[in-house]
């Protein structure tokens, strides 16, 4: 669950207990000793060295980290508070959500994150499209990457998260696989590295994602260089299993034999999922986990104060009361 602020008005994305979900992050976690998932394109000459560790069974693992959502504040011209972030050394990775009209601003965000030594995930994010099964939205994201990848890559090294939270709780594994096969083929015209794909149902339908990778119901995701990403919140719901998100659901997602991660986690909205236990279970499996959010949430899930929603031109920050909720789980 995330709160989005656009042009001064606050839009809250509420995931209801029958249609809502949870899930995983981007640390190239692998279940079996499958092939390593690595960024394959050459690093740009100006890219800073990023923090990566290697696991003998999981390939390259991006360190744990935090999300950033700067698009909605001061036209994306915000101060990230890098000096404060660097004082908290468990933060190794940043996932930056980018609205499609913020390409120029995103170049600066990527450059800054690289310069400060962070591994970077860049996510196409478009308000109003999350949880939709409309393939046009996913194709728009793929075409955006085809158009803008080279420009963004020139600013620094990053891994592509194709689109934030595309696909509903109701989408079939065949429809999900077919849509992503088309979108991935478009992105592959310009990018050969690992592609993170959010599992459907706002990042909570682990069974659907696993079936799509395995081709259980007939159609499979053909590209093997992908990372499945789940999003974990207290109201996480796995409709495919008709239950609150559970550790067994993360295990099922991992059984697909692809790298897995928790792309987002946080403690709101209220619900019965053991969200912190799920995050710890993902970590025990070697998955990267990314907290929501360092800054950019339209509500109370900001690790620093002031939030950009409170003061979009702030230049100095301090840890908020929410800070340890995320940091203690990294």
CA atoms within 13 A on the CB side of 201: 33
Distance CA(113)–CA(136), nearest Å, equals 31
pLDDT in tens, the chain (330 residues): 565 433 333 333 333 333 333 333 333 333 332 222 223 233 332 233 333 333 333 334 589 999 999 999 999 999 999 999 999 999 999 999 999 999 999 999 999 999 999 999 999 999 999 999 999 999 999 999 999 999 999 999 999 999 999 999 999 999 999 999 999 999 999 999 999 999 999 999 999 999 999 999 999 999 999 999 999 999 999 999 999 999 999 999 999 999 999 999 999 999 999 999 999 999 999 999 999 999 999 999 999 999 999 999 999 999 999 999 999 999
pTM of the predicted model as reported, rounded to 2 decimal places: 0.85
Give the distance from CA 203 to its chain's centroid: 9
Distance CA(136)–CA(91), nearest Å, equals 35
DSSP letters for 305-321: ES-TTT-TT----EE-T
DSSP 105: H
Q: In the chain, what is the greatest distance between 2 CA atoms, to the nearest angstrom?
A: 53
**Backbone angles phi and psi of 208, in degrees to 5:** -60, -45
With respect to CATH, is domain 2-8+19-327 assigned 3.90.226.10?
A: no
Distance CA(315)–CA(165), nearest Å, equals 31
């Amino acid at each position: 669950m995330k709160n989005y602020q656009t042009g001064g008005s606050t839009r809250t994305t509420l995931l209801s207990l029958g249609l809502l979900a949870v899930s995983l992050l981007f640390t190239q976690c692998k279940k079996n000793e499958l092939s390593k998932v690595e960024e394959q394109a050459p690093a740009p000459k100006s890219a800073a060295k990023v923090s990566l560790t290697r696991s003998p069974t999981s390939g390259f693992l991006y360190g744990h980290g935090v999300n950033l959502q700067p698009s909605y504040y001061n036209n994306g011209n915000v101060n990230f508070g890098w000096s404060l972030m660097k004082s908290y050394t468990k933060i190794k990775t940043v996932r930056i959500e980018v609205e499609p009209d913020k390409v120029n601003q995103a170049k600066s965000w990527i450059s800054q994150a690289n310069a400060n030594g962070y591994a970077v995930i860049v996510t196409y994010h478009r308000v109003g499209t999350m949880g939709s099964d409309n393939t046009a939205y996913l194709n728009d994201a793929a075409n955006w990457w085809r158009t803008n990848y080279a420009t963004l890559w020139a600013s620094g090294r990053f891994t592509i998260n194709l689109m934030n939270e595309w696909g509903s709780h109701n989408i079939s594994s065949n429809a999900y696989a077919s849509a992503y096969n088309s979108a991935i083929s478009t992105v592959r015209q310009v990018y050969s590295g690992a592609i993170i794909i959010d599992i459907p149902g706002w990042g909570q339908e682990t069974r659907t994602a696993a079936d799509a990778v395995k081709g259980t119901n007939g159609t499979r995701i053909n590209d093997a260089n992908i990372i499945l990403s789940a999003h974990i919140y207290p109201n996480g719901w796995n409709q495919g299993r008709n239950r609150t998100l559970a550790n067994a659901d993360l295990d099922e997602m991992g059984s697909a034999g692809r790298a897995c991660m928790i792309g987002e986690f946080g403690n709101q909205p209220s619900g019965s999922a053991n969200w912190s236990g799920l995050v710890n279970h993902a970590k025990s499996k070697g998955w990267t986990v990314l907290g929501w959010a360092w800054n950019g949430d339209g509500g109370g899930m900001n690790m620093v104060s002031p939030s950009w929603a409170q003061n979009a031109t702030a230049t100095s920050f301090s840890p908020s009361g929410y800070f340890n909720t995320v940091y203690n789980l990294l």
